Amino acid sequence: RLFEAESAVRLSLLQNLKKRGHYASETAQALSSLGAIFSEQGRPGDAEAVDRAAIDIYTKIGQSNDSFSPCLK
């Protein structure tokens, strides 16, 4: 199931990147979802990398610190 979830989130991420661009809250949300999946798969290095990217996006678009909470679980 995690493989299927990862595939679906990756597809969503690509669609968000095309439609909204890199610096969009939808892109950050997709990245944080991917980070959660990586964490569940036992891939902490990958999870940290995409969580950091999500936090970077949230920071650059001026989202509040509350937006970061999904990334830090």
16-67 tens-digit pLDDT: 999 999 999 999 999 999 999 999 999 999 999 999 999 999 999 998 766 5
pTM comes to 0.84
> What's residue 63's pLDDT?
85
Q: Nearest-CA neighbor of 34 among 16, 54, 19, 55?
A: 54
The CA-atom distances, in angstroms, between 13 and each of 19, 35 are 10, 12
* Distance from C-alpha of 23 to C-alpha of 61, rounded to nearest angstrom: 7
